Structure 1
Amino acid sequence: MPTDSPMPAEAQEAQGTQPRVDEREQAGGRWAVASGRWTVLAMSSMPAWTTLSDSLKGVPAQQGRPWDLRPIEQLDHIGAQLLWNHWGQAWPARLEMDSQHKAVLDQVALYTCSPPVEPTVTFAERFRHFAHNGTRMMFVARDFLGLIGQLVLDVGKLLRAPLRGPWRDFSGQIYQFGTTALPITALVGLLIGVVLAYLTSQQLRQYGAETFIVNILGLSLIRELGPVLAAVLIAGRSGSAITAQIGVMRVTEELDAMRVMGIPHGFRLVMPRVLALAITMPLISMWTSMAALFGGMIAADLSLDISPAYFLSALPRAVPMSNLYLALSKSAVFGILIALIGCYFGMKVKPNTESLGRGTTSSVVTSITVVILVDALFAVLFKGVGLR
């Protein structure tokens, strides 16, 4: 029968250096005695950590229990933090230890921070916080509705006292938004009409329905593509200009100077731009549709031998006048929305160049998105108007 061999010296030394806590009878009662090496290296192995955890659970931190740390061979900040947390971050009533261990424990006790206690928030406090701060979408809706309401009041003020209106600004904005935009809108409309006519002619030729190109081009360009294309161009051209103009006035503190002098922002800045785009957008939309129809007529003549005379004579029969009225009213709504969005983001610009660039970009993206959404809404609401 094999006999139990004595434990090797290395194993005895490793077991003696493991950190642990025991209860011992000493002078004055039962003491909690910590021994071994309370360092990261000694606690790094899983058996050592398990043994230390079990021994700490066996010696809970009770009020009035004395502790003896003199048998500890080595103590670093991790071991001291473990002891400090086990004591409930408070010194025991009686403590015996060496001076070097006391210096480490003093540092840990000095710089240990307790986690913040989350305050209990009632439903009424949450509701009050939401009412004051809310979500960003609610703030945007509130400010945008306030801008629309101020516009209505300014238009009423203009109707009561027309002679005091900013007519010079109004005429300048019409020239800036309308006249200077005619070349680019005509060029883009012409090219769109040519492309649409060539693509459509390839399909109609297969079925011998070449004459229906007048119906397709007339309805698509006059009713949908003309107003939307003009609105997208104006949103990128004039909407960004409105935001940049008002934003620069914010950066150079001209808006603050106007407020000090008693000049209302809505009456002198917002209203002229909104009315100018409300008038010019239907005209630009009709101009873009005419350019696109001209390009489509030329392409139809070259690809399908549809003469311009037949094209012009068949167009009124293919496209009822209600489509033109719908397109003009839709373009006016587009112009009002583009101007309002441009003015809103211009007013929200902060006095720095980074905010100016971000506001201009947001203005263009928002304007184009709103134009497409409103166009889809018009298409659903007036799906039975102008179609035979």
Structure 2
Amino acid sequence: MAAAADDAKETARLNLDAVPTLELTTTAQGRVVMLRGLWTALALARRKKTLLGLVRALPRGDLAWDLTQVEKLDHVGAQALWRYWRGQLPRQVALTAAQRTLFARLATFDTTRETPEPAPRISFVSRVGFAIFSLCDHLRDGIGMLGQFIFDLLRMARHPVRAPWREISANIYSAGTQALGITALTAFLIGIVLSYLSSQQLKLYGASTFIVNILGLSIIRELGPVLSAILVAGRSGSAITAQLGVMRVTEELDAMRVMDIPHGLRLIAPKVIALAVAMPLLVMWTNIVSLAGGALAAKVELGIGLKYFFSTLPGAVNIANLWIGLGKGVVFGMLIAFVACHFGLRVAPNTKSLGEGTTQSVVTSITVVILADAVFAILFSRVGFG
């Protein structure tokens, strides 16, 4: 009760309507800056622009300061004055005992505050070394994941009843069926663009009928598998990484390990098998839609009928190109699933790592798909052109 009465008296004594003021006066000792009013956070915020103008108008040189008429000075007001004084009291300053104690604390804080250490500079050679070690680490984990997947396949072949068929079916639906729309739209537009650009060149040489060979070979052998893989990597691969990353953040992966539920059999194998099954179907779907768009553009630009286009297509493109494209789909799907699961399991239990892991997963998946496509081009360079 006594403390509350003292606080009430102190509040009554202070003039709560007093605004912080700053006045330059001239005395026998020289020019003195007189401070009055409430120098608190609330009062300073209300009169910030006026005070800044008064401070800028102060003359340069050694000035004396008088803070004895200030009704109340809190830490915010003292910090503002301390910064204006550049971290030290003026040579001539009049303070009360409480004010002197407050500025002494600020001075102590400035001397004991730790200065941040500059970030160490890493040379180019060190960066290359770190990149090589990081690549070796990823390859080691990837090879281990591949070996575990092979063991899981053998276990599923030995005990088919215990295989995660429901998870495989769900992943086929999410990665394959739900991707039909965006894949069809992109493939149709790409087929139109490719046919239109090719027809402009074929017109110049009177070789309009070769549009069937160009579109058939490029779409069935290369464009269909690569386009499907890039779309699946950006859509399904990121979803897989995010799913596993969230399970890491929510500690579901740790709970599965405690309950002796293998991650490979229940999480990795269903996704790899699902993408291996769904990707060839998506490649076939992409081929059909893209060829339809190309045939439509060829009819508009070159006058080639749809019946002639699709009847000539089997003779213009060797069937081996179709099998190469479908094989690419299987390999690309498995690679995307492995990369997505790899980065998903490496996510740290925080949101920042989740975002970085998802981004790395998509970028790495697309890069791996392009590299694998280059390997296919080298290995089968003499197949399908007879």
| Pick aligned residue for 1:207 from 205, 208, 222 | 205
Which residue does 1:285 correspond to in 2? 283
Q: Is structure 2 residue 310 aligned with structure 1 residue 312? A: yes
TM-score, normalisation: structure 1: 0.65
| Per-residue Cα deviation, 1:44-65 (whole angstroms, up to 9, x for no partner) | xxxxxxxxxxxxxxxxxxxxxx
| Per-residue Cα deviation, 1:343-368 (whole angstroms, up to 9, x for no partner) | 00000000000000000000000000
How far apart, in 2, do the equivalents of 1:136 and 1:297 lie? Answer: 47
Residue 137 of structure 1 deviates from its aligned partner by 1.8
How far apart, in 1, do the equivalents of 2:135 and 2:223 lie? Answer: 30
Residue 136 of structure 1 deviates from its aligned partner by 1.7
Residue 141 of structure 1 deviates from its aligned partner by 1.2
Which residue does 1:62 correspond to in 2? none
| Pick aligned residue for 1:252 from 236, 239, 250 | 250
SS of equivalent residue, structure 2 residue 293: helix
Higher deviation after alignment, 165-174 or 358-367: 165-174
Q: Which has the larger radius of gyration?
A: 1
| Pick aligned residue for 1:330 from 328, 331, 340 | 328
Identical positions, percent? 61
Residue 230 of structure 1 deviates from its aligned partner by 0.3
**What is the total number of aligned residue pairs between the two structures?**
256
Residue 138 of structure 1 deviates from its aligned partner by 1.7
How far apart, in 1, do the equivalents of 2:355 and 2:163 lie? Answer: 31
Which residue identity lines up with residue 336 of structure 1 in the other structure?
M
Which residue identity lines up with residue 343 of structure 1 in the other structure?
C
Which residue does 2:159 correspond to in 1? 161
Which residue does 2:355 correspond to in 1? 357
Structure 2, unaligned runs of 5 or more:
1-128
Which 4+ runs in 1 deviate beyond 6 A?
none
How far apart, in 1, do the equivalents of 2:196 and 2:167 lie? Answer: 43
Residue 154 of structure 1 deviates from its aligned partner by 0.5
RMSD: 1.0
How far apart, in 2, do the equivalents of 1:330 and 1:197 lie? Answer: 23
How far apart, in 1, do the equivalents of 2:142 and 2:280 lie? Answer: 24
How far apart, in 1, do the equivalents of 2:135 and 2:190 lie? Answer: 36
Which residue does 1:173 correspond to in 2? 171
Structure 1, unaligned runs of 5 or more:
1-129
- The 5-angstrom pairing of residues 166-245 of structure 1 reads 166-245=164-243
How far apart, in 2, do the equivalents of 1:141 and 1:373 lie? Answer: 15
Residue 142 of structure 1 deviates from its aligned partner by 1.0
Which residue identity lines up with residue 145 of structure 2 in the other structure?
L
| Pick aligned residue for 2:259 from 251, 257, 261 | 261
How far apart, in 2, do the equivalents of 1:219 and 1:171 lie? Answer: 32
Which residue identity lines up with residue 196 of structure 2 in the other structure?
Y
Which residue identity lines up with residue 237 of structure 1 in the other structure?
R
How far apart, in 2, do the equivalents of 1:174 and 1:366 lie? Answer: 22
Which residue identity lines up with residue 248 of structure 2 in the other structure?
R
Which residue identity lines up with residue 174 of structure 1 in the other structure?
I
Residue 332 of structure 1 deviates from its aligned partner by 0.2
- The 5-angstrom pairing of residues 19-38 of structure 1 reads none
Q: Is structure 2 residue 276 aligned with structure 1 residue 273? A: no
Residue 377 of structure 1 deviates from its aligned partner by 0.7
Residue 135 of structure 1 deviates from its aligned partner by 1.7
Residue 149 of structure 1 deviates from its aligned partner by 0.5
SS of equivalent residue, structure 1 residue 135: helix
Which residue does 1:367 correspond to in 2? 365
Residue 194 of structure 1 deviates from its aligned partner by 0.2
